[in-house]
């Protein structure tokens, strides 16, 4: 029971952190690709697609070697490495969903903010993010469900203290403890559904409040 609780806590921390930090990074990358005049934006857009072409297991191995051959080796087996792997894995989808939202927004809004001497971080936070909120939330939910239940990406990266529900499921299944493995799988399914329902209600409640106001 204690291990299940640890795996559950680690899964929630990993998925929420990786998804939230990832979506912010994806938003910034999408802004550079779709709205900036940066010369390397096409190359950046192409690079964001690379994780899509690499199997999750191979991507996990790539992150493993990158960590072990760098000063970040001390982080091996921690949640930080798992979070990093999920952020990298989510780049293709995250940048595309945010890019499709940003490309519909007129550049004149940003120019108006600059005329009023707003800084770029303030413009991005107060203008861009509110306007792409729906895409951000949709991407967050999908990325969370993938991160929470993905086994292949983290199969070679977790340690004893950073076990998550997918790796716990694999361990129990391999050891013939099918009932415990079924419980871990059920926990993943229930939590993912609960998060989707909760976020949906929060978004609908926010929309209704805005409409009434």
For the segment 158-193, what is each residue's pLDDT rounded down to a tens digit?
A: 888 889 999 999 888 888 888 888 888 888 999 989
For 22-76, what is each residue's pLDDT tens digit? 999 998 898 888 877 778 888 888 888 888 888 888 999 999 898 888 888 888 8
Which stretches does DSSP call E strand in the chain?
Answer: none
Q: What is the DSSP string of 11-57?
A: HHHHHHHHHHHHHHHHHHHHHHHHH---TTHHHHHHHHTHHHHS-HH
pLDDT for 206 = 57
Give the pTM. Answer: 0.85
Q: Name the nearest CA neighbour of 30 among 88, 121, 99.
A: 99
């Amino acid at each position: 029971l204690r291990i299940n609780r640890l795996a559950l806590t680690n899964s929630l921390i990993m998925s929420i952190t990786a998804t939230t930090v990832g979506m912010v990074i994806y938003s910034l990358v999408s802004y550079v690709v779709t709205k900036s005049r940066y010369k390397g934006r096409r190359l950046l857009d192409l690079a964001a697609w690379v994780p899509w072409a690499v199997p999750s297991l191979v991507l996990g191995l790539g992150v493993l070697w990158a960590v072990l051959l760098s000063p970040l080796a001390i982080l091996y087996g921690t949640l930080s490495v798992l979070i990093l792997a999920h952020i990298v894995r989510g780049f293709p989808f995250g940048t595309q969903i945010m890019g499709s939202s940003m490309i519909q927004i007129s550049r004149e809004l940003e120019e108006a903010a600059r005329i009023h001497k707003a800084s770029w971080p303030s413009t991005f936070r107060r203008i861009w993010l509110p306007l792409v909120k729906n895409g951000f939330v949709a991407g967050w939910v999908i990325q969370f469900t993938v991160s929470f239940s993905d086994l292949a990406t983290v199969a070679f990266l977790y340690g004893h203290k950073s076990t998550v529900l997918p790796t716990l499921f694999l361990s129990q299944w391999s050891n013939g403890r099918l009932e415990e493995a079924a419980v871990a799988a059920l926990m993943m399914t229930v939590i993912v559904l609960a998060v989707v329902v909760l976020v949906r209600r929060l978004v609908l409640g926010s929309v209704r409040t805005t409409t009434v106001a």
